[in-house]
Amino acid sequence: MTTTDNNTLFWGLGLSDIECKKIESSAPGYSVRNFSAGALPTDEEMEGEAPFLIWIPVRAWITMDDDFKSAILEWDPAQKVLLADAKDVLDVERLLDLGFLSVLRSPLATDKVQETLYRAREVHALYEDIVRMTREIALEREILSRKTDYLMFLNEFMARASESLNPATILTQARRDLCSLFAVSAVQGIFWQETGEEFVESEIFLTFQEDASIQEQWVEMLLESASRLSGVKVNSYQMTYLMDAEAKTDSTLEPAAGRVIMLPLKAGGKEFGTLALLTPAPVRLTKQQRDVLHSAVNHLGLALKNALLFREVKIKADHDGLTRIYNRQFFDKRIIEEMRRSQRYGQDISMMMFDLDHFKNINDTYGHQAGDLVLKEIGSLLMESLRTTDFAARYGGEEFAVILPHTGEEQAWLLAERLRYKVEKLRFRHDGKAFTVTTSIGVASLSASSFSRNPDLIKAADRALYLAKASGRNMVCTSDGCDEYMEELQEQKAGS
């Protein structure tokens, strides 16, 4: 490519030496690169240079092939001037329409060259203004398009965040949606609840980690964030894994420097959580991306707070406040659902009803706080001992009920016996006094071939409980008796 400034470069296509000298002398500061009619510029030369004006005599123009003529006429921003002899017969209007700036007839005078150069400068300035305006319009359109995309993103993000009242579902969907803003490998979170004491209880939502050490790093980072933002110590936390099939679970989830974006979550002007975004590589967000991210996270915070409050209210409505297991109202709904499910799929179902023996004596002897302590411990024991498919509820007072889907009478009796034994081994202490409790348990079952209405199962379990209490308490009975399976259990113990 030539080193000549393109704004001071002319091209000549088939000019004579006299014409070249006349043009250069009439336009001080400009130089002419002249190509002979037999050696016209190549495509590479046309791509490498952008002459300000191209001077073409008619005698050379008529010898050029149509393709080259078209290429020259369509070449912007170079302007073309046609030089004609006095005898040439030309349709000037047509030539101007084709793209020539001007048609000059010989003799080639200085004032004609300078006037043409002046017009060329005006046209060039106008061309540059149009190009600049076009670029500005294109830039504005791009900015507007980007803003529109961001607004659409926020609209869709907010809509999807509000679709669920499950915090885990909201976080999983948020990771997928944020990927349209920038690449996000995982979304982790911690939420805390003030207790009125000098500590908070928290819940951590974590993408499943194959590497335990990586999980520990995330837990430590999130707990530190909770302590810093809440201003108090995190006394305890529970873990919930996010089941996001699209998120990675390998070592790339390590919270490496530069790849973690920590964002506080607020509701009502108070922090209640932290969102931790993990990116595949260190990322630098644009100002617009940062603004959009903060707007999205602000709405996400409200959605998550609503979900947490809904869950808390639902737990209070469905759970017993003292024992933290389900209450009688929810049990009545659940037993109907489980009975229908068992009947539909032809599966056995069992139920345990048990009562703490002489519970009134505990309240009278050690006080109601001691009684509450016992009920709490029994609730915890049930949650620890039962399968995830089983359903335990406080039926009323010191009575508890357990629904056992997919379970026959013998299996239910064995489970009840294990629970009875565990309760018997519990040791309680209140105000320096130690005591124990026992329980009587009634078991009832329905096989797939003998279904009846759900009240019959409850009545059968209640009759079995009455039989256990009438037979001396601290035992497990079915509606048919209290020792039907005891001999088999003793044989199993003897064999072991």
CA distances from 18 to 108, 131, 255 (A): 10, 36, 76
Complete DSSP assignment for 287-339: HHHHHHHHHHHHHHHHHHHHHHHHHHHHHHHHB-TTT-SB-HHHHHHHHHHHH
Dihedral (Cα; 94, 99, 101, 103), 10-degree rounding: -40
CA 374 – CA 430 distance, rounded (Å): 10
Q: Looking at 398, 399, 409, 424, which residue is catalytic?
A: 398
CA 98 – CA 10 distance, rounded (Å): 20
Around Cβ 381, how many Cβ atoms within 10 Å? 17
How far the first Cα of the chain sits from its last, in Å, is 95
Does 398 participate in catalysis according to the annotation?
yes
CA 162 – CA 151 distance, rounded (Å): 17
Helix (H), strand (E), coil (C) string for 184-225: CCEEEEEEEEECCCCEEEEEEEEECCCCHHHHHHHHHHHHHH
Amino acid at 310: F
3-class secondary structure, 62 = coil
C-alpha gyration radius of the chain: 44
Active site residues: 398
